[in-house]
Amino acid sequence: MAVKTNCTKAGTKYYRITITVGKDNLGKFIRKDFYGKSKSEAESLRDEYLNNINSGLDINYRDKSLGDLMHTWLFEVVRVASKPATFERYESIYRNYIKSNPVNNDLPSLFNLKIYDIKPIQLQRYYNDLYANNKSSNVIKNLNKFLKTFFNYAYEEGYILKNPCIGKKIVIPRNSEVNEDSEESKEFSIFTEEEIKSFQKSIEKNRIRALFVLALATGLRRGELLGLKWNDIDFDSKELKVQRSVKRVTLINEKEEREGKIIVQLPKTKTSIRTVPIPSSVIPILEKHKIQQNKERLKLGDSYLNNDGYVFTTESGNLIDPRNLLRAYMRALKSGGIMYRKFHNLRHTYATRLFEEDVPLKTVQELLGHSDLSVTSNIYTHVMPAKKSDAAEKLNRLFY
């Protein structure tokens, strides 16, 4: 009678087959063990492994956990190849949704799963669990995009045969109806004309009034406004060039030590580097701001820090911390009795007013610096129905 087992592991009898798959950096043989309930089962596992190695997988593909490989990818690839803000966002997702289960610490996290064995259904169940515990669809969508990028890396490095996030096997959970009072609906709400008047009145004596006015008049992002220099502004042609962005990020080193810092970087995308016209009525406000800044420079003398010609700085010439800008913005809204909206909604208001003035979609895309026309049309679909109705009404004359 054939022997079915030849070893005992953790109190259970198995049939073990051992093979040599190469040598490590020290010249020692690398051996792999395969355990089955019978010799044929162990041989089947061995053959599967060898076939996968021949298909291009790494010899350690069965041993690598998702967490270990992701940490290597994040801190040795992403950190040195990406903008600090991108790495900060990725590291936050890794820390909050991979290293631990944010819904229930008693439940297993994705961190310890063997990457080769991960199936789409495991990710789907995790997403469903997050959603059931009040994590938004947007959070889960960003998590899935993050994992998709990581699994592409794992595939290229030979740890998986296919990306479990690609295809239609995973569905991002969401409500079939969107509540009008939800964050999704508030995100793109714009300021009314009455609110804009109240806002302008509340910032009349504000030291950085010009920044808020410019946000409404040009649609620049917060970081792009803070990154403007005087030589970016052409007062004669009434236009400005967007060439950099200021952002506060958390710098994280390989030891996962964290440090908050204000940095200057290139704008969001290549198309974000652009030229934007300035309304004539805004030019005097900018000129007045420049005069005020020169007074501050003269008052402080050598102690003044703005030697690079930034348009918007603190009174001492430092770059403005984006967090402090938000605080000033919130005070201005409160002073004007205006319902809180994100600073980015100034940009949405600018774009919506352009559409209302029948500015073509392609022109709006270029003014906003969007990378693709579809990005602009997808964001501002809420404007389109009204414009379509206007177009239909113009056909009325054909029927009289």
H-helix or E-strand spanning residue 233: strand 233-234
Q: Of how many residues is the chain composed? A: 400
Instruction: Establish whether 79 is a catalytic residue.
Output: no
Instruction: Establish whether 380 is a catalytic residue.
Output: yes
Instruction: Establish whether 71 is a catalytic residue.
Output: no
Instruction: Establish whether 353 is a catalytic residue.
Output: no
| Closest by Cα among 246, 282, 243, 274 to 364 | 274
Instruction: Establish whether 258 is a catalytic residue.
Output: no
| Paired tokens of 302 | 């050598």
Considering the candidates 64, 209, 247, 370, report the single residue annotated as catalytic: 370
| Paired tokens of 213 | 């006015």
Own/partner long-range contacts of 106-110 (Cβ < 8 Å, ≥24 apart): 109/67, 110/66, 110/67
Strand order in the sheet with 7-9: 7-9, 12-23, 29-36
Instruction: Establish whether 348 is a catalytic residue.
Output: no
Residue 234's DSSP bridge partners are 239
Considering the candidates 4, 46, 89, 344, report the single residue annotated as catalytic: 344
Considering the candidates 222, 347, 348, 353, report the single residue annotated as catalytic: 347
CA atoms within a 13 Å half-sphere pointing along the CA-CB vector of 50: 15
What is d(CA 312, CA 309) in angstroms, rounded to the nearest whole number? 9
Considering the candidates 64, 79, 221, 289, report the single residue annotated as catalytic: 221
| Paired tokens of 215 | 């946000």
What is d(CA 242, CA 240) in angstroms, rounded to the nearest whole number? 7
Q: Show which residues are catalytic.
A: 221, 255, 344, 347, 370, 380
